[in-house]
Structure 1
Amino acid sequence: MVPHGLAIYNYQNRGKTIYFNGKGFKSCKGAGIQGNYYDSETGDEYWISGVKKDMTDRHWAGGGKIFIEKRAVKNYLTEIGISSLNISDYELVDIITEVPKERLYEMENEVTEAPLFDDNIHFKQPPELTINEIEYLIQLLEQDEKEAVYNKGRRTIKQKRLLLEEEYRKRLINNG
């Protein structure tokens, strides 16, 4: 898939994010599939290039019209040294001038729920587990047992589940 192409003349670069047309673009740092930047809200890749005097702003596999902000046309023409644009290659557009810095900051810094238990839970022996961890693992193993394709795998899962159920019963008796 060819990325969306932007030959940006009039943009604001604030550190590692480029703000343009109400969007924030972050560098792919060489890890993009086809683009060099991605939209921080949607993840869509874009090829963003500064203005080139030889008009090679577009990605090599890109197609379609190049969008230029109406207010930037005069400066763009001066920069590349031509007097007019070929209307079949370019489209003049109005852009959003708002810089969505706060909205993007909030989105990127949302607190996600921490997992109920860490991954080490699977490596602990039954006596090392809390009662809540045992209950959680029993539920997981019951589900895995139902979904197991092979009998040997199902037996191994059942064996682990039975050990945990035994530990669970011991705890209930001792805490009485």
Structure 2
Amino acid sequence: MGRLLVGSLVAAAAMFVIGFLFYGTPMFSAAYRTAPLETQMTVQEALKALPASGTYFIPMGEDEAAMAAHRAGPTAMIRVSLQGSEMMDPMVMVKGFIHMAVSAFLLGLLLYRVAPKIWDFGGRMAVVVLASLAVVVFARLGEPIWFGADWPFTLYVAVTDVISLVVAGFILAKWFLPRSHPAS
């Protein structure tokens, strides 16, 4: 289990670097749109009227007026934090690294579970790739299908997630799992 913990931290470090490459460089700006500053301030001011932080669907309601407004558009799913935050909060990086380490640990547990039956690296990587795809396709690609999220941003995040998980799985499968059958 100690090897798995160390491996999870190493894998999380690799995931962190991948995250920086995809989210901390100008490449990320291709995944989203930015409204003019005046529009941003108008929307931000309107958000202050919301009763609490949370996720809001706009428009939303069961009456005909809400349904007509939804048909006419525009529509939005907005995740609101009323208290605000630093744009580059260092604690987000710490929490993000912990999130990555836990994710890598769970992937490592899956690999440990199948390790006694799959001894070759290619077989283990097939498990990693398929598990990564299953998780990302279900969790990420459902957002545009069910909630109207835009496809370009969703696909950008999904590709980043698959790459991160596959690299983490590669690290765990290559260096932190048993490599041969135990002696009989």
Question: So what's the TM-score if we normalise by structure 1?
Answer: 0.24
Larger Rg: 1
Question: So what's the TM-score if we normalise by structure 2?
Answer: 0.23
Higher relative contact order (CA closer than 8 Å, sequence separation 6+): 2
Bigger proportion of residues as helix: 2
